[in-house]
Amino acid sequence: MALLNIVKEGDPTLRKVCRPVTEITPRILQLLDDMVETLIDSNGAGLAAPQVGILRRIAVVDMGDEIVELINPEIIAVEGQQQELEGCLSVPDVWGITDRPQKVTVKALNRFGEEFTVTGEDLDARCFCHELDHLDGHLFTDKAIRILTPDEVAELKGE
Ligand code: ZN
């Protein structure tokens, strides 16, 4: 296991469309392990492979009671709407309000190559949308309906 370096906005990797995983090799399993460790270490809600410099369709999302590993994820159903706060480990100290579905169902492969579906609401739903956007080169700042001012961010952080 190893902590991975998280690339920041401005790095061209974050703007590329990632390729699907065609075979779950030991290298992919290692990447999943390292991404989970990096996510836990960074206190984030989710992490996508391009954020650690790997252009593959892989993301990990912390759903509170478990960290779900998503290989080749696709959103297959959405419901409702929410306008809530969002941030990104690759865009430090920037927070914005995004317009996302309230409930999102994702289909993906697990590390054994088995297809599964997972449904998230509220923060989990935002996180699924956010991480899947990363796989297509989109950042939350592209679609935020409002970016918080520095004063608002300071207040948010309790400064
Ligand atoms: Zn992000």
Q: How confident is the model over 16-39, as pLDDT tens digits?
A: 999 999 999 999 999 999 999 999
pTM summary value: 0.95
- pLDDT tens string 144-157: 999 999 888 888 87
Check whether 89 has a pLDDT greater than 80. Answer: yes
Give dist(CA 15, CA 21) in Å, integer. Answer: 18
AA letter at 145: I
Strand positions, DSSP E, the chain:
46-48, 58-62, 67-79, 82-88, 91-100, 103-109, 115-121, 146-147
With CA atoms as reference, report the closest residue to 52 among 66, 36, 29. 36
| Mean pLDDT computed over 129-140 | 98
Catalytic residue among 37, 69, 131, 155: 131
Check whether 55 has a pLDDT greater than 80. Answer: yes
Mean pLDDT, the chain, integer: 96
With CA atoms as reference, report the closest residue to 157 among 60, 65, 61, 85. 85
> If you measure from the C-alpha of residue 15 to the centroid of ligand 1, how many angstroms do you get, rounded to a whole number?
12
**Does the annotation mark 115 as catalytic?**
no
Check whether 119 has a pLDDT greater than 90. Answer: yes
> If you measure from the C-alpha of residue 114 to the centroid of ligand 1, how many angstroms do you get, rounded to a whole number?
26
